[in-house]
Structure 1
Amino acid sequence: MQYEEFLQSKQRVNNPVGFDCIPSNEYLFDFQRDITKWALKKGKAAMFLDTGLGKTIIQLSWSDEICKHTNGKVLILAPLAVSKQTVREGLKFGIEVTICRSQQDVKKGINITNYEMLEHFNPNEFDGIVLDESSIIKSFAGKTTQQMLDLFKFVEYKLACTATPAPNDYEELGNHAEFLGVMTRSEMLATFFVHDSGDTAKWRLKGHAESEFWKWIASWAMVVKNPEDLGYDGSKYKLPQLSIQTHYVESPTNEDMFITLPAQTLEERREARKESLGDRVNKAVELVHGMENCLIWCDYNDESTALSKSIPGAVEVKGADTPEHKENALIGFAIGDVKYLVTKPKIAGFGMNWQNCNNIIFCGLSDSYERFYQAIRRCYRFGQIKEVNVHVIISEKEESVLANVKRKEELAQQMSSNMVALTSEILKNEIRNTTRNAIEYTPQHEIQLPAWLMEVS
């Protein structure tokens, strides 16, 4: 074996298992059509597209073409309330989607259900599976995530759709790769990563493997923050201004201290949040006054209860509510029937499109940057035409929580930019290889061969 052949044998790529198809839906933009065509060619692919780039129409068009190709069925798994939203979007795009609660409700074509209803379906009955807001699978218990990976292991066509995942969350990337059948998470870690400083919970890319890793990612995942990343016109995908203001409420000082010291331990942070509840709720009520609508985020039941009781007209959505109440409230906020919505990021932080609202309040803050980012992106997404105002209400003792979130934000933005930069050129080539540009030509004049050429012949 020659050295060049040895190097070729070490390369990790994902071979296409799909089919050539030009998506027929007339509502697809140029970049959406080409991305959909690329995913159909791959057969098993991930869409890491930023919020508002059209994941819904892409996954519906992909599913529609799969159903036409197989004359079979596709199942879309989505967060709660996103199912109804997707059906509404499908009607707008001319694609029929059936909401299902069990296998008995399934029809030929595209079907959709909530992740929580998964156990009521037979995966062997479907030709294709779509995970909408697929990053949500990492928030499930490990057993549930593994169950999902096992259930759909032999489904022929697969698509995973989410906003650009946290680039340093390699477990999330590994879960996606395993779901698509590209490589198991453990294989991915062994191939491209090493333990960081002996801590088996932390992984970092091998120095020489970085370019190969992102080349491998680009062989099965489309990573896009803006259509410009792939060479398309992205002028329509410029977001309005985002304003984030922090409002501090006073924290009582210790008798022995002249100043308020920030809470450091988890127990201290919980205690600081508990003792500032009343002041934070009062501040939220003050801010909501005069707003046309507002999305109010919290993390604990006592915060949710206090906010909903104190804000006139507020509708509360909590974990113990029935699925019907949750769906009606979340959809009601989307269409303007609900003015003030109080809920938690872990309940409604994924999937919902609320560009109709440009006011957001966090009545407290957790250390999770991803929840903070996703919660803001329900309103601050492509299609939003107004400046989005975000108000973060915390006590003075919780300043360390805010600092931690800001640190994670800077790291995520830097690594996300690197991820797009490292994959964009590869994906441009991938798109070109699956896209045929043809210019129609209609002749207007009859060709006349010159006399000298006629004589020669």
Structure 2
Amino acid sequence: MVNEMPTDYAAFLASKKVEAPRRGLATVPTLASHLFRFQREAVTFGLEAGSFGLFLDTGLGKTRTQLEWATHAASATNGRALILTPLAVARQIESEGRECGYQVRVIRSQEDAAEGVNVCNYDRLHLLDPDAFGVVSLDEASILKNFVGKVSADLIARFAGHRFRCAATATPAPNDSTELAQHASFLGVMNRDEMLVRWFINDSGDTKSWRLKGHAITPFFDWMSTWARMAEHPRDLGDDLPGFDLIPMRITRHQAVEPETPIMGGLFGGDVSATGIHDLKRQTIDARARVVADLVSAEPSEPWIVWCDTDYESDALLDLIDGGVDVRGSQPIDRKESALAAFADGSVRVLISKPSVCGFGLNWQHCARVAFVGRSFSYESWYQAVRRCWRFGQKRAVHVHLVVAEGEDAIGRIIDRKADDHSRMRQEMKAAMARAIGQSSTRRVAYNP
């Protein structure tokens, strides 16, 4: 005989459960027929919640889901919604939205705004009046943590009074307290300090380094499921659709020829600091750039994306790659947008840029060749960069080439560890989603931080 939990104790446990406030619609209108069932589930949840996190992986229709949510939320407020986006993503959203029949336009200042969904780049926020919009969505919201603290705080403050807010990103880092706190703060769910005290612990002495407490993992993700919808595959939201399995990605590592005189005695082959890696990269850039240039020239009919981390790497690549075009942060916005549009339509074959500049939001399924002229310590930069091409909708195998110097092997090990952590934590997130929508999770992966 199974002992039933005493009613008073069950009530006590229920009282301890933390849930996000719900301030959305009591009745959700009929949604667009072009949406898949899992997308309708996300839109319905977002309209009922009012403010929510939309964490659909690349190629799962995050743009259409945002547009549908924003359209209905705008109808419930003042008729105007705003979607803020990274560089060059605005036109992409406008194009897809119009194909689906949404009333959507790109704006550059408040004077351009009108009824429906207005899309604008983050860097033009100062030209907008937040109170003129009843709804706001941050596309690629994980980019928030890349902003200067003051800019981030200002963005959160500007929309603090909005009933309908959305933070949309494909890769919320599940163990990154900074990013999760940014999302929760922007959405008005919980402030950073309260979130950290409840579920995180700092045992490193670094005020920026927090990790989830072991016993808090399930409660934390159950809390997240009250204000977010996350999916790596439609089945995560109860929709086992065919055609959503990624074609395998093929990764090839290339060792660049080292300089004759090693730097910083004992550097090669050991774990090194970011400063040591930077020195190593500067000394080996010519060798690494030559390897990439040879790869690009060997397949002259293929579009290529070449990722770098510094301007001097970009300069070296431009010198060696015929027809290569670079996009960097210091360029005028119009020039950057023009170059990205040219790559998207095939006018430019080889694009050179940094993940921090072009690694968010852009869809380049026409390209199946990617090269990295070195590695960085950021797992998210790696993930976002490869997912510009390797995503649902890609019809060909994506070939990724990593060109590294010997001392950069340490970065690979760190990235692999972060990838394992990310995968385990996302399993916990998916299990919480399953519980939230009344399903039983079929996969449980233990996480031991």
- TM superposition score normalised by structure 2: 0.91
Cα offset, 1:419, TM superposition: 2.2
Amino acid at match of 1:97: V
Cα distance in 2 for residues equivalent to 1:417 and 1:142: 30
Q: Which residue of 1 aligns with 2:48?
A: 41
Pair 1:266-2:280 in alignment: no
Pair 1:284-2:292 in alignment: yes
- 8 Å CA contact 1:74–1:111 kept in 2: the answer is yes
Q: Which residue of 1 aligns with 2:304?
A: 294
Q: Which residue of 2 aligns with 1:387?
A: 397
Amino acid at match of 1:271: D
Cα offset, 1:97, TM superposition: 1.4
After alignment, is 154-163 or 254-263 more displaced?
254-263
Give the secondary-structure state (helix, strand or coil) at the position aligned to 2:33: coil
Amino acid at match of 2:23: V
Which one of the candidate residues 143, 146, 155 is aligned to 2:162?
A: 155
Which one of the candidate residues 237, 246, 252 is aligned to 1:239?
A: 246
Amino acid at match of 1:309: D
String of CA shifts for 1:15-53, please: whole Å, max 9, x gaps: 421112244323211211222112111111111111110
Cα distance in 1 for residues equivalent to 2:191 and 2:227: 14
Which one of the candidate residues 9, 13, 36 is aligned to 2:19?
A: 13
Pair 1:133-2:109 in alignment: no
Pair 1:165-2:199 in alignment: no
Amino acid at match of 2:67: L
- 8 Å CA contact 1:23–1:36 kept in 2: the answer is no
Amino acid at match of 2:48: K
Which one of the candidate residues 321, 345, 348 is aligned to 1:335?
A: 345
Cα distance in 2 for residues equivalent to 1:200 and 1:285: 42
Superposed, 1:264-413 pairs within 5 Å as 264-289=272-297, 290-291=299-300, 292-413=302-423
Pair 1:109-2:116 in alignment: yes
Cα distance in 1 for residues equivalent to 2:137 and 2:30: 17
- 8 Å CA contact 1:288–1:294 kept in 2: the answer is yes
Cα offset, 1:203, TM superposition: 2.3
- 8 Å CA contact 2:175–2:212 kept in 1: the answer is no
Unaligned runs of 5+ in 1: 431-457
Amino acid at match of 1:380: W
Cα offset, 1:194, TM superposition: 2.6
Which one of the candidate residues 119, 124, 136 is aligned to 2:126?
A: 119
Give the secondary-structure state (helix, strand or coil) at the position aligned to 1:276: helix
Cα offset, 1:68, TM superposition: 2.6
Superposed, 1:438-449 pairs within 5 Å as none
Cα offset, 1:231, TM superposition: 2.1
Which one of the candidate residues 21, 30, 36 is aligned to 1:29?
A: 36
Which one of the candidate residues 146, 149, 152 is aligned to 1:142?
A: 149
Structure number with greater Rg is 1
Q: Which residue of 1 aligns with 2:447?
A: none
Amino acid at match of 2:18: R
After alignment, is 87-96 or 249-258 more displaced?
249-258
Cα distance in 2 for residues equivalent to 1:397 and 1:71: 56
Superposed, 1:183-198 pairs within 5 Å as 183-196=190-203, 198=205
Which one of the candidate residues 93, 98, 102 is aligned to 1:95?
A: 102
Cα distance in 2 for residues equivalent to 1:267 and 1:199: 19
- 8 Å CA contact 1:263–1:269 kept in 2: the answer is no
After alignment, is 267-276 or 72-81 more displaced?
267-276
String of CA shifts for 1:224-257, please: whole Å, max 9, x gaps: 1101112212321100010111101122355898
Give the secondary-structure state (helix, strand or coil) at the position aligned to 2:403: strand
Cα offset, 1:410, TM superposition: 2.0
Q: Identity, % of aligned pairs?
A: 39
Quickly say closer, same or farther: Cα 1:174–1:129, change in 2 above 3 A.
same
- 8 Å CA contact 2:366–2:389 kept in 1: the answer is yes
Amino acid at match of 1:272: L
Amino acid at match of 1:8: A
Q: Which residue of 1 aligns with 2:3?
A: none
Quickly say closer, same or farther: Cα 1:193–1:287, change in 2 above 3 A.
same
How many residue pairs get matched? 430
Cα offset, 1:115, TM superposition: 0.8
String of CA shifts for 1:396-427, please: whole Å, max 9, x gaps: 12221222222222222222223212332223
Cα offset, 1:286, TM superposition: 0.6
Quickly say closer, same or farther: Cα 1:191–1:288, change in 2 above 3 A.
same
Cα distance in 2 for residues equivalent to 1:233 and 1:9: 34
Cα distance in 2 for residues equivalent to 1:304 and 1:409: 27
- 8 Å CA contact 1:295–1:342 kept in 2: the answer is yes
Quickly say closer, same or farther: Cα 1:4–1:150, change in 2 above 3 A.
same
Quickly say closer, same or farther: Cα 1:184–1:260, change in 2 above 3 A.
closer
- 8 Å CA contact 2:55–2:230 kept in 1: the answer is yes
String of CA shifts for 1:306-338, please: whole Å, max 9, x gaps: 212321111111112111111111122122221
Cα distance in 2 for residues equivalent to 1:211 and 1:361: 38
After alignment, is 165-174 or 19-28 more displaced?
19-28
Q: Which residue of 2 aligns with 1:439?
A: none
Pair 1:213-2:220 in alignment: yes
- 8 Å CA contact 1:254–1:260 kept in 2: the answer is no
Give the secondary-structure state (helix, strand or coil) at the position aligned to 2:76: helix
String of CA shifts for 1:245-297, please: whole Å, max 9, x gaps: 11011223558989954472333211211111111111111100224110011
Quickly say closer, same or farther: Cα 1:410–1:307, change in 2 above 3 A.
same
Q: Which residue of 2 aligns with 1:436?
A: none
String of CA shifts for 1:107-156, please: whole Å, max 9, x gaps: 12111111111112111111100000001001111111111111100012
After alignment, is 355-364 or 232-241 more displaced?
232-241
Unaligned runs of 5+ in 2: 1-6, 441-449
Amino acid at match of 1:206: K
Quickly say closer, same or farther: Cα 1:424–1:3, change in 2 above 3 A.
closer
Cα offset, 1:55, TM superposition: 0.3
Amino acid at match of 2:381: R
Give the secondary-structure state (helix, strand or coil) at the position aligned to 2:426: helix
CA root-mean-square deviation: 2.2
Cα distance in 2 for residues equivalent to 1:272 and 1:343: 20
String of CA shifts for 1:321-375, please: whole Å, max 9, x gaps: 1111111111221222211101111100000000110000001111111101100
Give the secondary-structure state (helix, strand or coil) at the position aligned to 1:196: coil
After alignment, is 203-212 or 222-231 more displaced?
203-212
Q: Which residue of 1 aligns with 2:429?
A: 419
